[in-house]
Structure 1
Amino acid sequence: MLDVQVSPSLPRFAFGRYDEVILDGISYRATDCSDDGYILVRTDASDVAESFSHAVLSQRVINGTLEHRRDEFLSQHARRRLRQPTRELSTLSPKTQRKAKNHEALVLAFLELEKEGKVKRTEDATKEALEEIKFRAGKYYSIASEADGGQFARNTRVSPEKVSASRLLKRVAPYSRDGLSALYGQDTQNRRERRIGPDELCLLTLTIRNYLSPERPSIADIVDDVSRAFRAENLRRKALFEQGSAGQGSGQPTSYLVPPSRETIRREINKLDPFEVVAARHGLDAARKKFAPVGTGMTLTRPLERVEMDAWKVDLKTIMSEAGIWSMLDEEEKAAFGLDMGKKTRWFLVAAMCATTRCILAMKLARAESGRAAMQTIDMIVRDKGHWADAVGTLTPWSMSGTPELIVTDAGSGFIDFDTRTAATDLGINIDAGPAGMPEFRGRIERMFGTMAGSFIGRFTGRTFSNTIAKGDYDSDKRAALTSEELSEALVRWVVDVYHRRPHAGLGGETPLNCWTRLVDKYGVAPMPSLERRRKALGTRTKYTVTKTGITILGIRYHSDALARWFMHARDPEVRVRWYSEDLGAIAVELDGVWVEIPSVLTRFRGQRAGVWLRTVREIRAAYAAEAAVSEAIIARTMDHIVALNANAMARQGLFVEDFSEERLKKLDATLMIGFRVEDTPRAATVPTGEDGLGIDLPTRRSPGADHAQPEASSGPDICEATVVDDVYDVPDLDDDWSIGEK
């Protein structure tokens, strides 16, 4: 069971007509919705309809057993899937990801120059700007990602070397249409070659240019023009053929052209540049009016239609607390949170806001902008935040969650990080980085930060003024009165109980909470991705060596029949792994190119977070330092004790960005887990012996009052059916003294 606490108000999910909903491996599509729930029909042509209440669907989403695929049955999405990889992008090979990263860096650099008017989509213009394109691409290409394999040094700018102007132009349009996944492509042998020949295509391309005329001919007119052009060309070729056969002139025998179909002509017309079409048929002024940006901004109607995410340097110097939850952290964790520096520190607040309702969907406190902070913020967006609100005692639920359609960020290093972009794409989220230095593209989140600076941060001592003139004689170092845990609690309470319930000018005086509730009831929201998808997209990307005992991470052993069968025939036991800190119950492992979920040997770890487990290890090591292995009963009791004692403190700490990078995982395995082993094999049976010292006595129903009833002699084979034997392998009562499992 997942370690989550749901909000008291249930969300209403949005399942569209062409969406696919997968429950227990069965594919459904929604046909009807009411205040009570959804009617889902199976897509296997059986026409079986089933009803699911909103409460059941919400519980499935929280458990991670519901997968929602937006517009899966839409025709254009089906065609797009033929052009794109069928697997999650983050699970493809490092070589493939490295190529895609190189291509995206060049495309993004090209689009930047295009917006500035420094390059056009022609081969000559692109060749002239190649050096500038390569230099700007280094900004994206130099950010470390899993695909690099550690080949780039930190703080070093590396630009792509081999760049072809023609190939770059071929990638710009697909990227603009389909996003990052278009750069991965597919094997050439899976692509069908065009049936139309080069001569036919050349004549067709010349003829459809007739469509670009002030007379505004229809597509039917162009079809007639193409037909006449092909007829005339074939007559000309026929004459050349006859001349060559008769030995007259210089004509050479040649083949006839095959006229294209009406659908082929229509598709080629639709490929014409839209701006050029309008300019040629209606005039340049009409084209400018149609395609020029509108100053009134975009119109948003649905919750999570557009989410703006940005990082803000907290306008406050905080004093790190050494009480409460911090006393349970070791020096390494204090260093990860910046608590070992012995001085006041600054924090970055990474926040995400629904642009339609102005509700804040996620917040993470980090020491610096990073891809890790961005990915954990995205994880918080899609998840229910009930336990964060309950931990600080808010008066209003924080139930805003779901899968956004689009996330818009700035051009900070954490948001243009390649791993972050692939993770968002795998979760079904489009992510777009706005132009650098232009916060007006993210005006709503920027204004929210301004409101927070004036309404929230200004209430605390220790505020750092933006410039020396505004600061005057104010000494922020001596008046830094807010600890970081208190800052986390204050942020949640201010967002949930103040900001969400305050009338918002951008909503016409409506509060963000009421706007969210109203629009969710009307449109619904897409549920969060399944647990398996979140694990592969957001999990720590690392490698481990498989042994006959499976894979052990942080003292937890993972094994399955599939892994055991693979190990028997594997030449290289090292595998790629996705480890998700929010659920230690399983890991994702790549076996022969296929990602398989490998569960933990002990079911106790299902739904448990890494933070709780690390504190459990420290508690057990302190109490049982001399023991070689600990039993499941000890682990269960210690984890329950820690959760009960520090649940609220750990929930407040959940706003901080946790460092579970590959490097830290390896370091924890090499330091914290030395000499620590979880006993996950069945313990030896402990049973009473018989009165004569031989064998054991088994009580039966016929002698309930006897402590050790003697079994009656019987030669029948069914004596076992009348015998009730105590479960001698039962796990000891947790109220008994703790014991150390023996192997």
Structure 2
Amino acid sequence: MELNFNNISVATARYAFSTSDQVVIEGTAWRPHSFNELGWVMELSDGSGMCREFSHEQLRRLGSMGRVRHDRGFYNPAQAGRRLTTTSTLVSSLSKKRRAQHSKRSAWVAAANEMRREGKLNATDDALKANEAELLQRATKFAQNLNPMGYDNPGLSWDFAAAPSPRTLRRWMREAALLGEAGLIDNMCMRGNRNRRMAPEATGIMMQEVLKYQAQERPTKRVIFDNVEIAFGKANQERAEAGLPPLDTPSRETVRRAINALDPFTVMVAREGLEAARKKFMPAGMGLNLTRLGQRIEIDEHTIDLLSLMHSSALWNLMTEEERLAVGLDNTKARWVLTVAICTTSRCILGMVISRGAKATAAVQCLQMIISDKGQWSDGVRARGPWDMHLTPELIVTDNGTAFKSEAFRMACADLGISVESTVAGMPQQRGRNERFFATLTNAVPPVSPGRTFSDILTKGDADPRARAVLTFDDLAFALVRWIVDGYHNTPHRGLDGETPAQCWRRLSAQYGVTPPPDLRRWRLVFGEPLVRKVTKEGLTVLGVRYHSERLALWMNRNGEAHIDVRWHPRDIGAVEVRLGTEWFEIPALDPMMEGKAAKTWMTATNNLRAAHPKRKSFDREVVLAAMEAIQDRNATAMAAAGLLVDEWSETRIKKIETTMFQGSFCNAPAQPAPVDGGFGQSIPGPEDTANPLSTSTAKQVQIQKRQSGVSFEE
């Protein structure tokens, strides 16, 4: 026997709804509007009129997952009115007592309907009264338990032996016919006088003493009851003198119930403090469920627990007096703020910046470290392990500090496609990973310093940490970086099930990968310092470095000399971004030796050469290049320490440097090869050409190119 399934088609199950129904799909309430062979059109039940389509296949799949709730006849006027008189429409959700009441009603209604179907009963008073015994006999067959409460003397509302009056039974039958079993549910449990039996004045006197239970002295309930008795004794004495009847003193049980009725959280806040109340009442879930690197980055600030003398020989020589004052290296002893970014998935530290206070520039610089390879810092302190962890985060979680609310930080994150989330103020547990790191940092690094401060006066004793603060900034930066790279990243972490942060990073990086950092052009646009420069036939100049290109020259030919917007980043002064019209373009430096050079290195070389040769106005480019290379080789540790400091390159600072240091020439640039007439590319002169004397026209051309590529220099 052969079976052929080619002609069998599996049709998608279709759900049937009415326009008076309510359909709750994944927590959102909808009202059916219309349907066709493809699916249903649902309208939001909030009255906004917004609609959405759901295919039959989608509804079937969600229904099989238990994410669709169908409330039949929800918008029916009769059902809506019924919901006003009851607290629940589900029999299974009733309390035990109310379930017993419903069971009796349901059984009597079922017995009456059965006899009516058999033609033995009509709904008149006489008929119902005459058939009361048979109705009781049949009702007991429909009940699962004749005494569900288990009482010797059951209440009238759930006692099956107590037959309802004909009028009551007809009402039950009518409500059941209209709304089914839900129509037999009422709010009988809410009947009766639920107001206090105490006089209002007596209640006021009692509550005045009961509220004193919420005090830092933590009085006991017995003390509160004694105070209530004393208060009522005084009040009754005054009323007796006024000819008024005495007030009844509340019992100990009444006072105890009044105390227990107080809000537990408010009571604990008043008696033990807010932090204790939060720890006790805050719900504890499974915590963060993170699987990918960069899924959640926490950035927080921490005041360094050191009173350090913030200057050292290496770093001091790299900075001018204005720069030292700008970052606070003025021979004073002060606390510094450490801004740290941690990957909550791997617990790796992705950014660390030191500043004299909570600044927007510190937050932005920390963001730049997150998306940067930090190998220069680990190499600078001669760490054994790499610090190559970097990526573009998906989410950054911060506290409510002003630095993270700044426009510069928020807009930088927005341009990089990073979501920013601020935690609730005063709740550090929402940034628990970073807070735990700061606690570890405080206990791990500062004890090596004689300038460590103490957490309280008892720990401090007679010691004066200000007098013993001798740690230099180089030492602090060296200790922090070396401890993070070689210590913290390679220590088994309890939150990682014994895995080290570095191992977790390598494993997840190989499994899921990381989001790459932005390219250099976007880096300049997002983090670059906005400047305004005048374009001339010689290009534009920033800090003595000239930038020019063929595109910029063509734009100037059409628009003349004009001021344009420039984005300049101190990380790489080999190129800038300029706005020409409505678009941004990269303009390289005329001198190729500037490619990849940092502004700090360029400024340090300039200062050193001018200090060594104060009378000399210009230097050969090979000399300047050698000076920059020497700075990078000899001061690796100092440069790494300087990289941890917040370095602010404002337009005001740049203009001041240009005015004082780059009024004249400093470094000559080589002549740029000229295009060859009648062909593509550039002409590179050979040795035999350079040996011959230059013609007059060629010499003039070289002089023009030198003027365009840089200021003329003295040898």
Q: What is the TM-score of this pair, normalised by structure 2?
A: 0.57
1:446 corresponds, among 417, 424, 435, to 435
| Post-superposition offset of 1:220 | 11
In 1, the alpha carbon distance for the partners of 2:318 and 2:553 equals 38
| Post-superposition offset of 1:463 | 1.4
Q: Give 1:623-702 correspondences, 5 Å limit.
A: 623-680=612-669, 682=671
The residue aligned with 1:130 is none
* Counterpart AA for 1:224: F
Structure 2 CA distance for partners of 1:265 and 1:531, relative to 1, 3 Å: farther
Contact 1:634 1:740 in 2 (8 A): no
Is 1:335 the counterpart of 2:325? The answer is: yes
Partner SS, residue 452 of structure 2 = coil
1:510-538 CA distance string (max 9 Å, x none): 21111111111211111221111111111
Q: Give 1:68-79 correspondences, 5 Å limit.
A: none
Partner SS, residue 469 of structure 2 = coil
Contact 2:548 2:587 in 1 (8 A): yes
Is 1:505 the counterpart of 2:494? The answer is: yes
The residue aligned with 2:309 is 319
The residue aligned with 1:224 is 35
Is 1:395 the counterpart of 2:206? The answer is: no
| Post-superposition offset of 1:672 | 2.8
The residue aligned with 1:355 is 344
Q: Give 1:48-447 correspondences, 5 Å limit.
A: 211-212=22-23, 222-224=33-35, 295-340=285-330, 342-447=331-436
| Post-superposition offset of 1:621 | 1.7
2:463 corresponds, among 467, 474, 477, to 474
2:600 corresponds, among 601, 611, 614, to 611
In 1, the alpha carbon distance for the partners of 2:504 and 2:27 equals 46
1:490 corresponds, among 479, 483, 494, to 479
In 1, the alpha carbon distance for the partners of 2:600 and 2:611 equals 17
Q: Give 1:456-467 correspondences, 5 Å limit.
A: 456-467=445-456
2:557 corresponds, among 555, 568, 572, to 568
| Post-superposition offset of 1:321 | 2.8
Partner SS, residue 403 of structure 2 = coil
| Post-superposition offset of 1:429 | 2.0
Contact 1:587 1:597 in 2 (8 A): yes
* Counterpart AA for 2:319: L
| Post-superposition offset of 1:671 | 2.2
1:204-256 CA distance string (max 9 Å, x none): xxx989545699999995423999x99xxxxxxxxxxxxxxxxxxxxxxxxxx
Partner SS, residue 35 of structure 2 = helix
Contact 1:223 1:265 in 2 (8 A): no
1:55-84 CA distance string (max 9 Å, x none): xxxxxxxxxxxxxxxxxxxxxxxxxxxxxx
In 1, the alpha carbon distance for the partners of 2:687 and 2:32 equals 95
Contact 1:554 1:669 in 2 (8 A): yes
* Counterpart AA for 1:423: A
In 2, the alpha carbon distance for the partners of 1:213 and 1:461 equals 65
Structure 2 CA distance for partners of 1:378 and 1:213, relative to 1, 3 Å: closer
Partner SS, residue 352 of structure 1 = strand
The residue aligned with 1:153 is none
In 2, the alpha carbon distance for the partners of 1:367 and 1:479 equals 20
In 1, the alpha carbon distance for the partners of 2:547 and 2:435 equals 44
1:321-363 CA distance string (max 9 Å, x none): 34223134221111122122x3212211111111001111111
Partner SS, residue 567 of structure 2 = strand
Contact 1:311 1:349 in 2 (8 A): yes
The residue aligned with 1:289 is none
In 2, the alpha carbon distance for the partners of 1:447 and 1:672 equals 47
**What is the count of residue pairs matched by the alignment?**
450
Consecutive unaligned residues of structure 2, counting only runs of 5 or more, are 1-17, 42-49, 59-66, 75-87, 91-281, 674-685, 693-701, 703-710
Partner SS, residue 303 of structure 1 = coil
Report the structure number with the largest CA radius of gyration. 2
* Counterpart AA for 1:554: L
Structure 2 CA distance for partners of 1:218 and 1:306, relative to 1, 3 Å: closer
1:457-500 CA distance string (max 9 Å, x none): 23322112234344232211112131111100000111111111
Partner SS, residue 426 of structure 2 = coil
In 2, the alpha carbon distance for the partners of 1:562 and 1:525 equals 36
| Post-superposition offset of 1:310 | 0.8
The residue aligned with 1:601 is 590
Q: CA RMSD in A?
A: 4.2
Of 623-632 and 492-501, deviating more is: 623-632
Q: How much identity, in percent, do the aligned residues show?
A: 38
Structure 2 CA distance for partners of 1:646 and 1:260, relative to 1, 3 Å: closer
In 2, the alpha carbon distance for the partners of 1:467 and 1:698 equals 76
The residue aligned with 2:123 is none
| Post-superposition offset of 1:262 | 5.5
| Post-superposition offset of 1:408 | 1.0
In 2, the alpha carbon distance for the partners of 1:284 and 1:537 equals 58
* Counterpart AA for 1:299: N
Consecutive unaligned residues of structure 1, counting only runs of 5 or more, are 1-206, 231-258, 268-275, 286-291, 685-696, 701-707, 710-728, 730-738
* Counterpart AA for 1:298: L
Partner SS, residue 350 of structure 2 = strand
| Post-superposition offset of 1:369 | 1.3
Contact 1:210 1:222 in 2 (8 A): no
The residue aligned with 2:512 is 523
Structure 2 CA distance for partners of 1:472 and 1:279, relative to 1, 3 Å: farther
1:551 corresponds, among 525, 536, 540, to 540
1:165-202 CA distance string (max 9 Å, x none): xxxxxxxxxxxxxxxxxxxxxxxxxxxxxxxxxxxxxx
* Counterpart AA for 1:640: E
Q: Give 1:26-37 correspondences, 5 Å limit.
A: none
| Post-superposition offset of 1:551 | 1.4
In 2, the alpha carbon distance for the partners of 1:214 and 1:638 equals 70
Is 1:536 the counterpart of 2:515? The answer is: no
